[in-house]
Amino acid sequence: MFSLEGKVALVTGGSRGLGRADALALARAGADVIITDILLESDQPDSAEKYGPLAQLMKRRGVVYTEQTAEEITKLNRRSAVYKMDVTDREQIREVMAAVKDRFGHIDILVNNAAALDHVASIENQSDELWERDLKINLTGAYNCSKAVWPYMKEQQWGRIINMASVAGTLGGFGQASYSSTKAAVIGLTKSLALEGARYDITVNAIVPGIIGTEAWKSGNPKMNERMIARTAFRKPGEPDDIAHAIVFLATEEANYISGIELNVSGGIELFTF
């Protein structure tokens, strides 16, 4: 059960955190895995400057594992490849998808993980520029990648698309108007694509992570992190693998009658906790 032998998966935003964990878990389940990201270890030191403060921080700290993750996957006797890809660049996405199809033969699983989450400000101080950026990355990015892979999945009459939402999208987030709005919209996109994909045996689902102990979360305000942990029923953050295991399940044949759901992997943060 839960084998992905013979499947080819593509994970966006796979340089670290959830994307890296997703890629490794899919490989351990038997899939060949392609990793895309805007950041690669072999990039020039100033390559992150145009991508925002969080990308710059992760690059400066050396928290970029895109190529390393692909190497780890090959050690699992799975095929892997890395492509530098910006989910807001439609032409680049089409080129990458075509290259993957040509090299690997098919694309069976798409994990839309790439996102921006470094825009935090009350509504009167929200940056209009960053609002637009978050729409382009978090929502339109998932749309762009899903649209590009759709013809391949439709042709083969099988596919799995898994979108990364957030409890910020289901519960709201103070100072997170752009992030919360885009993640809520990802759930709407998920349900619409699930309806369209059903006739082609393409399932589309959303994961709704809670507080997960990624590198980005650990770099946040410690006092705020403690407050968020106190909201969870488990009183602790989740691990990236908690998300990755849910994604693997939704990608398998065992989940073939599940589509259009928003699966909370959140430690009960949405419950009435006291």
Cite the active site residues.
Answer: 179
Residue with tokens 């825009």: 119
Q: Is 119 helix (H, G, I), strand (E, B) or coil?
A: coil
Give the contacts of 47 (CB within 8 A, at least 6 positions apart): 39, 40, 59
Mark 94-129 as b/e (b = at least 16 C-beta within 10 Å): eebbeebbeebebbbbbbbbbbbbbbbeeeeebeee
Beta carbons within 10 angstroms of residue 208's beta carbon: 26
Q: Is 212 helix (H, G, I), strand (E, B) or coil?
A: strand
Which H or E run includes 32? strand 32-37
Distances (CA, A) of 204 to 4, 211, 256: 17, 23, 10
Q: How far apart are CA 234 and CA 249, in angstroms?
A: 22
Check if the beta carbon of residue 18 is closer than 8 Å to that of residue 162: no
* CB burial of residue 88 (10 Å; 0-12, 13-18, 19+): middle
Q: How far apart are CA 274 and CA 264, in angstroms?
A: 19
DSSP states of 245-256 = HHHHHHHSGGGT
